[in-house]
């Protein structure tokens, strides 16, 4: 029996260092509590469904909604990514609107916020296992290359790409729309692991790459379907036992700088914007675009502060500040009077310059005539500025108008 390749393709959460609250003591202490999470904790409910670069920790989102979201009212996340805040808003019984430029992100967030009732989550497992079973009857090498195969061919061994194509085609045949969409996200969740890509946020070939044995795709897909069905079961049980009436979240494929949100409609803004020059979201997802039929150009041309732009230098940092100022303005306008906007943002680097994200948010707020009454900063033990000993930090910052 061939052994699966030994590869470390987990998206590791960074280990948190000491937390420093700053500003108005009451609010700062609450922000510090939101950051004080166990990075090793097994992600509950549907939070572990799909990896995503720079996911918010679910306990940060959960605590922030409880401590800053008032007793009721809608929650807004203008950079929703894979939907951590969406899941926690759902669990808190809140209406929710999430915005992102990536259709991949929105589809993951949508899948993570499904509430199956009456044990229907088991259909995810049943359909998934059935697809894996049907697929495994074919000889992998004899399968056709999927239509989108040539775009990503060099990132897979030939038999694995053909297997992925077959699973995608069988998923497309699933009649029930919600199941079909969920199963597609399940396939997306194992795609990077099946490929040569080093990890979700490292878009280079893994040096330790070795091909998966034939039919590993099907085993992995079926296993993931079982796991996801269990997660849905936990989420539905949690809502049922706490008597929470879940509200269907809204997900908008829009640019956070220009999205037309209803004015004064939200009780809380809670979001983690792109960190300055740190990630390249539009590229991190490139293997997934064909699966979702996404036109990558939409996200690529609108992404704020990507690493690729910071590397070019020029006025990338100034553009990032301008773009973020516009996003914060749009978000503040959508909040009810006095409602807080919480930004979770990490430090970055621009050329030889350290970019402290807390200072950046203070500058942005000042430009908008808004206040930054408090924050909490946590040293990230695994990140440093330019390979030196000074550690980068992540900051949870309160902005209010």
Candidate ranges 80-88, 143-151, 238-246, 379-387; the one touching ligand SAM (CB under 6 A): 80-88
Q: In the bound complex, what is the minimum distance in angstroms from residue 56's beta carbon to ligand SAM?
A: 4
46, 51, 60, 82: which one binds ligand SAM (CB under 6 A): 82
3-class DSSP assignment, residue 111: helix
HSE at residue 218, side-chain half, CA atoms within 13 A, is 21
Please tell me the distance from the alpha carbon of residue 217 to that of residue 205, in angstroms, as a whole number: 19
Does the protein bind ligand SAM through residue 84 (CB under 6 A)? yes
Residue with tokens 């269907």: 248
Q: Give yes or no for residue 201 binding ligand SAM (CB under 6 A).
A: no
- Exactly one of 64, 65, 103, 105 binds ligand SAM (CB under 6 A); that residue is 105
Binding mask 276-295 for ligand SAM (x = CB under 6 A): -----x--------------
Write down the least CB distance from residue 313 to ligand SAM, Å.
20
Q: Which of 291, 299, 283, 297 is nearest to 148 (CA)?
A: 291
Nearest Cα residue to 298 out of 53, 98, 104, 111: 104
Q: Work out which of 303, 309, 321, 347 binds ligand SAM, going by CB under 6 A.
A: 303
User: Among 27, 31, 54, 220, which residue sits at the site for ligand SAM (rule: CB under 6 A)?
Assistant: 54
Which is closer to ligand SAM, CB of 53 or CB of 165? Answer: 53
Annotate 335-357 with b (16+ C-beta within 10 A) or e (fewer): beeebbbbbbbbbbbbeeeebbb
Assign 3-class secondary structure to 168-226: HHHHHCCCCHHHHHHHHHHHHHHHHHHCCEEECCEEEECCCCCCCCCCHHHHHHHHHHH
| Residue 385 CB neighbours (<10 A) | 17
Stretch that binds ligand SAM, among 136-144, 167-175, 271-279, 308-316 (CB under 6 A): 271-279
What does DSSP assign to residue 275?
P
**Shorter beta-carbon distance to ligand SAM: residue 165 or 274:** 274
Least Å from the CB of residue 250 to ligand SAM = 14
If one asks whether residue 100 binds ligand SAM (CB under 6 A), the answer comes out as: yes
Closest CB 208 distance from ligand SAM, rounded Å: 27
**Which parts of this chain interact with ligand SAM (CB under 6 A)?**
52, 54-56, 79, 81-82, 84, 99-102, 105, 255-257, 272-274, 281, 302-304
């Amino acid at each position: 029996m061939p052994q699966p390749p030994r590869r470390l393709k987990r998206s590791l959460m960074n280990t948190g260092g000491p937390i420093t609250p700053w500003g108005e003591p009451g609010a700062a202490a609450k922000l510090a509590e939101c950051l004080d999470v166990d990075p090793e904790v097994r992600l509950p409910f549907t939070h572990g469904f799909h990896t995503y670069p720079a996911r918010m920790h679910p306990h940060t989102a959960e605590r922030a909604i409880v401590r800053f979201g008032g007793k009721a009212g809608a929650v807004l996340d203008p950079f929703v990514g894979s939907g951590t805040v969406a899941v926690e808003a759902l669990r808190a019984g809140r209406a929710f609107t999430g915005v992102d430029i990536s259709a991949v992100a929105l589809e993951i967030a949508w899948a993570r916020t499904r509430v199956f009732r009456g044990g229907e989550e088991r259909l995810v497992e049943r359909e998934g296992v059935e697809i894996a079973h049907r697929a495994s009857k074919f000889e992998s090498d004899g399968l056709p290359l999927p239509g989108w195969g040539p775009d990503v061919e060099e990132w897979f061994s030939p038999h694995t790409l053909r297997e992925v194509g077959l699973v995608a085609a069988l998923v497309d045949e699933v009649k029930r729309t919600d199941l079909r969409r969920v199963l597609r996200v399940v396939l997306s969740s194992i795609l990077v692991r099946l490929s040569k890509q080093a990890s979700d946020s490292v878009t280079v070939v893994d040096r330790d790459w070795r091909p998966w044995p034939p039919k590993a795709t099907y085993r992995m897909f079926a296993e993931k379907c079982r796991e996801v069905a269990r997660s849905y079961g936990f989420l539905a049980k949690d809502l049922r036992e706490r008597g929470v009436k879940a509200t269907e979240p809204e997900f908008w494929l829009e640019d956070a700088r220009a999205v037309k949100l209803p004015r004064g409609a939200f009780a809380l803004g809670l979001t983690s914007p792109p960190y300055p020059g740190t990630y390249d979201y539009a590229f991190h997802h490139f293997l997934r675009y064909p699966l979702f039929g996404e036109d990558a150009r939409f996200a690529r041309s609108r992404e704020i502060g990507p690493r690729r732009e910071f590397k070019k230098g020029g006025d990338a940092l100034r553009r990032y500040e301008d773009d973020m100022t516009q996003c914060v303005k749009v978000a503040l306008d959508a909040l009810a009077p006095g409602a807080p906007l919480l930004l979770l943002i990490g430090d970055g680097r621009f050329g030889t310059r350290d970019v402290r994200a807390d200072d950046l948010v203070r500058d942005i707020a000042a430009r908008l005539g808004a206040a930054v009454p408090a924050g909490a900063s946590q040293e990230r033990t695994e990140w440093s500025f330019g390979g030196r000993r000074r550690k980068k930090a992540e900051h949870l910052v309160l902005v209010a108008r």
